[in-house]
Amino acid sequence: MKNIKDYNLDELKQELISVGEKPYRAEQIFKWLYEEKVKTFEEMTNLSLELRKKLEENYTMCNYNILKKQESKDGTIKYLFDVLDGNAIETVLMSYHHGYSICVSSQIGCKMGCKFCASTGINFIRNLSSGEIVEQILAVEQDTGNKISNVVFMGIGEPLDNYDNVVNSIHIINHPKGLNIGARHISISTSGLVPKIYKLAEENIQCTLSISLHATTNEKRSEMMPVNNTYKIEELLQACKDYIAKTNRRISFEYALAKDNNDNLDDAKRLVNLLKGMLCHVNLIPINKIENGIYSKATNENIIKFRDYLNEHGIVATIRRELGSDIDAACGQLRRKNLK
Ligand code: SAH
């Protein structure tokens, strides 16, 4: 059965036309799904009984079951959702003074193999559909009653490796008749799939692009992130420059600081040279040590020195606040738990 939440508004109109229905029904259905957040077609009371029956027979609503919910002392909540085919995914809700932010997964498992990331031990199983991405937001809003204002694609998976579904999910998340979350409040984080960065620049969506850079030499980056064997730092930064020129949007570079690995002032100096003159911001993440991981957190002293060096040399850098570390929900800690 098709998932009704896989369609953006235009696609749903086309779908309804193809089954002999009027296109304006799509807007009514969108309203029920994303404003009223109903869980059954039966509740869509301004549709005829006949149409509701037709929808029920041909489409699913993809309502997730919560398999596990863990709440951190700082208010962060980690969900394990049953995605209805025997697999499970993790989603994290974070609360900030400016509102609620959700970290969504884009794939079940990941192919990228970054050495510091907990998702690496998981075999890649499949891409999530756009509806399965959107459902993470709906399920969390339904469970907490909170309206989410920011979406970050920083859960499990490489969003640009599931390009079409991720971009389509953004159309649904962003649409005024969909979840109505402004594109500027949506961030895509990538390990650096260069051709997809060029493609994204052409989409004309005003979302924020985050690049997981983490190292300043190709040798070091390839050691930490195998993707760097395919797309070198220079190619990656060229794609970023193109993205900035086309979209006029500031890029956010993520740099996870690991002790005695990439945290000294020579690294900071090289980072300044690489990013000089770019419209960007650096997000420093104290690396989270994963089970059997080879990298451990840089000292606070080094993290602060690193930040100060960047700021003093014209690169705006901030240290990311660690949320949810007591429930394994901090950056890079998400991993699909076994269902059994
Ligand atoms: N695949 C995407 C998005 C998922 S990871 C990407 O690579 O960007 C989201 C962010 O968390 C990335 O910047 C990633 O490099 C970072 N991250 C992964 N593992 C981490 C860890 N153990 N400690 C700190 N940050 C980590």
Residues 69 and 56 grouped into a single domain:
no
Residues 11 and 158 grouped into a single domain:
no
Residues 51 and 74 grouped into a single domain:
no
Mean pLDDT value across residues 132-145 = 97
**Is residue 329 over pLDDT 90?**
no
pLDDT of residue 325: 76
328 band by pLDDT with thresholds 50, 70 and 90: confident
Backbone angles phi, psi at 91, to 5 degrees: -140, 140
Q: Which of 202, 188, 182, 214 is CA-nearest to residue 245?
A: 202
Residue 291 to residues 90, 124, 170, 328, Cα–Cα distance (Å): 18, 19, 33, 11
Angle at 14 between CA 10 and CA 16, to 5 degrees: 115
pLDDT of residue 332: 67
> Of 60, 84, 102, which marks where a domain is finished?
60
90 tagged catalytic: yes
User: How far does residue 90's CA lie from ligand 1's centre (Å)?
Assistant: 14
Domain that holds residue 314: 65-327
> Of 14, 33, 60, which marks where a domain is finished?
60
Residues 323 and 254 grouped into a single domain:
yes
Mean pLDDT value across residues 228-253 = 97
Mean pLDDT value across residues 172-188 = 97
Q: Please give all residues whose beta carbon lies within 6 A of any atom in ligand 1, as ranges.
A: 112, 114, 116-117, 154, 158, 189-191, 212, 254, 256, 285, 287-288, 290, 331-332
133 and 169 in contact (C-beta within 8 Å)? yes
Least confident of 50-59, 79-88, 101-110, 112-121: 112-121
Backbone angles phi, psi at 171, to 5 degrees: -60, -35
User: How far does residue 108's CA lie from ligand 1's centre (Å)?
Assistant: 15
Retrieve residue 58's tokens. Answer: 């041909």
Q: Which of 239, 7, 252 is CA-nearest to residue 150?
A: 252
91 band by pLDDT with thresholds 50, 70 and 90: very high
Residues 148 and 214 grouped into a single domain:
yes
117 tagged catalytic: no
> Of 33, 60, 87, which marks where a domain is finished?
60
Can you give the pTM of this predicted structure? 0.96
Side by side, the strands of the sheet bearing 99-103 are 65-71, 77-82, 88-96, 99-103, 148-153, 186-190, 208-212, 251-257, 280-286, 317-319
Q: How far from the centroid of its chain's Cα atoms is residue 147's Cα?
A: 17
Domain for residue 183, yes or no?
A: yes
User: How far does residue 332's CA lie from ligand 1's centre (Å)?
Assistant: 5
Name the percent of the chain lying above pLDDT 70.
98
Residues 308 and 250 grouped into a single domain:
yes
339 band by pLDDT with thresholds 50, 70 and 90: very low
Backbone angles phi, psi at 142, to 5 degrees: -65, -40
Residues 144 and 290 grouped into a single domain:
yes
340 band by pLDDT with thresholds 50, 70 and 90: very low
CATH of the domain at 37: 1.10.150.530
**b/e 297-320 (16+ beta carbons within 10 angstroms → b):** bbeeebbebbbebbeeeebebebe
pLDDT of residue 336: 58
Residues 54 and 92 grouped into a single domain:
no
Backbone angles phi, psi at 69, to 5 degrees: -140, 125
pLDDT in tens, 269-326: 999 999 999 999 999 999 988 888 899 999 999 999 999 999 999 999 999 887 787 7
pLDDT of residue 334: 75
Residues 165 and 42 grouped into a single domain:
no
Q: Please provide the average confidence, as pLDDT, over all residues in the chain.
A: 94
More confident residue, 332 or 235: 235
**DSSP 3-state of 191:** coil
pLDDT of residue 98: 86
Q: Atom 20 in ligand 1: which residue has the minimum CA distance?
A: 332
